[in-house]
Structure 1
Amino acid sequence: MADDFRVLIVDDDFHVAKLHAAYVDSVAGFLALAPVGTASLALQAIHSLRPDLVLLDVYLPDASGLDLLQQLDVDTIILSAASDTASVRVAFRRGALGYLLKPFTAESLSQQLRSYARYRRLLGQPGALDQDGVERAKRALIPGDVTPSSKPRSATEAAVLESLAPGEQYSAAEVAARVGVSRATAQRYLSSLADDGAVDIQLRYGTTGRPEHRYGLPAR
């Protein structure tokens, strides 16, 4: 869909890159671009495709991913088997937003991507941030470390949240019908609740193959 975050995977192992692309495509709001396997191809793809996010391996055949990282002006998360402390420090020093050690599960990457989506939504709101807003954006990048906002919920926002039953997933249209508001209103409040970590967003494919965003309470 047009508003999906477009993700470029940079990994020289074709099978691993294909698997990670499938992981990305399974997360609501994300679309995997065709993976590339070298630093030079990554630079070309970033220049031509303008991805929102790069998932970058450290070990590439023509350059270190960490050296490539300092050349990139795009949000980047490291996906690598490089577990030495020096690599991790360099990655964060050069601007990586996250570091996920291989091998990892689809759910681990899904959590990282959902955290990134919360981060982008928080920084996509109009107006300047106060310090609390900056801290919330920083925390949003850490899976499972989202602190709910202390601001009071409006009656409609509370009703949207209360319409979600534990263990169930709903479309925005279903939530709208349960609460008695328009779909656009339900969508707006669901996105706000997702920013706070009060709601999780999943992706489900219907019988037509068209992906649908589903909303539910986070597993505790």
Structure 2
Amino acid sequence: MSEDLRVLIVDDDFHVAKLHAGYVDAVPGFTALRPVGTAEAALRAVRTQHPDLVLLDVYLPDALGLDLMRSLDVDVLVLTAAAEASAVRRALRRGAVGYLLKPFGAEELAQRLRAYARYRRMLAGDRTVDQDTIERAVRTLRLPQAAGPSRTRSATETAVLQALAAGGQHSAAAVAEQVGVSRATAQRYLSALVDEGVVEMHLRYGSTGRPEHRYGVPG
């Protein structure tokens, strides 16, 4: 994506909202809009500023954030101290892309924002996608990568990454030929790397109309 994803923070605690805005701005590819503190202001900001993502508290002075979700035609990540299971169920039922309990640190939010960015890349635009892409997008959204030291990669996985290191987009068959493995094996490693966020997948439509998966490292 060429432009940053715009994030609106809805929280009636000014200091918390400002802190979270700083967290958002520290993540490459994201820009925090000016936070708002009421449901009414949130509706107005969504209509006029068109954010890509709303970080929504449950407890607002003029409405419950979970009720506000019915009126927001935008992706919502709930950030709240409301730990009741019923609140979590209601948020997910109304389409929340995630639910993060306060208090949390910058990296915890960054993990979810990076997962959201990968989800948006997988489902970018109005192109047609296959079931595998849908499943991986949902899996990426629900299971952000945990922070921690990088794991040791196998020799085959390292070779797959090296095959993509020159840049551009490559088919699984081309990667398989360069690495010296079967296409199915290359496809398995590529799919795992896409889920991890290390590799991006794109669809290219040929003359037959059947889309071909192409893989590359993020630019």
Q: Using structure 1 for the length normalisation, give the TM-score.
A: 0.69
Which amino acid counterpart does residue 158 of structure 1 have in structure 2? Q
The alpha-carbon deviation at position 133 of structure 1 amounts to 1.1
Per chain length, whose mean CA-contact separation is higher, i.e. which structure has more relative contact order (CA < 8 Å, sep 6+)? Answer: 1
Q: Is the 8 A contact 2:118 2:197 kept in 1?
A: no
The alpha-carbon deviation at position 73 of structure 1 amounts to 0.4
The superposition leaves residues 46-98 of structure 1 with CA deviations (integer Å, 9 ceiling, x where unpaired) of 00000000000000000000000111100000000000001000000011010
Partner residue, 1:6? 6
- Mapping for residues 150-161 of structure 1, pairs under 5 Å: 158-161=162-165
Does the C-alpha gap of structure 1 residues 197 and 89 become closer, same or farther in structure 2, counting only changes over 3 Å? same
The alpha-carbon deviation at position 196 of structure 1 amounts to 3.5
The alpha-carbon deviation at position 39 of structure 1 amounts to 0.2
Q: Is the 8 A contact 1:80 1:100 kept in 2?
A: yes
CA distance in 2, matches of 1:51, 1:65: 17
Does the C-alpha gap of structure 1 residues 2 and 121 become closer, same or farther in structure 2, counting only changes over 3 Å? closer
- Mapping for residues 87-166 of structure 1, pairs under 5 Å: 87-124=87-124, 127-141=127-141, 142-144=143-145, 158-161=162-165
Q: Is the 8 A contact 1:9 1:56 kept in 2?
A: yes
CA distance in 2, matches of 1:71, 1:84: 22
Does the C-alpha gap of structure 1 residues 61 and 120 become closer, same or farther in structure 2, counting only changes over 3 Å? same
CA distance in 1, matches of 2:125, 2:194: 11
Partner residue, 1:206? none
Give the greater-gyration-radius structure (CA): 2
Count of residue correspondences: 168
CA distance in 2, matches of 1:132, 1:32: 32
SS of 1:70's partner is: helix
Does the C-alpha gap of structure 1 residues 198 and 97 become closer, same or farther in structure 2, counting only changes over 3 Å? closer
Identical-residue share of aligned pairs (%): 59
SS of 2:7's partner is: strand
Partner residue, 2:67? 67
Does the C-alpha gap of structure 1 residues 82 and 49 become closer, same or farther in structure 2, counting only changes over 3 Å? same
The alpha-carbon deviation at position 198 of structure 1 amounts to 4.8
SS of 1:51's partner is: coil
CA distance in 2, matches of 1:39, 1:15: 18
Structure 1 residues without counterparts, runs of 5 or longer: 146-151, 162-178, 187-191, 201-214, 216-220
Partner residue, 2:39? 39
Q: Using structure 2 for the length normalisation, give the TM-score.
A: 0.69
Moved over 4 A (4+): 192-195
Structure 2 residues without counterparts, runs of 5 or longer: 147-155, 170-190, 200-217
The superposition leaves residues 12-71 of structure 1 with CA deviations (integer Å, 9 ceiling, x where unpaired) of 000000000000000010000000000000000000000000000000000000000111
SS of 2:71's partner is: coil
CA distance in 2, matches of 1:87, 1:127: 34
CA distance in 2, matches of 1:198, 1:117: 9
The alpha-carbon deviation at position 106 of structure 1 amounts to 0.4
Does the C-alpha gap of structure 1 residues 126 and 63 become closer, same or farther in structure 2, counting only changes over 3 Å? closer
RMSD: 2.8
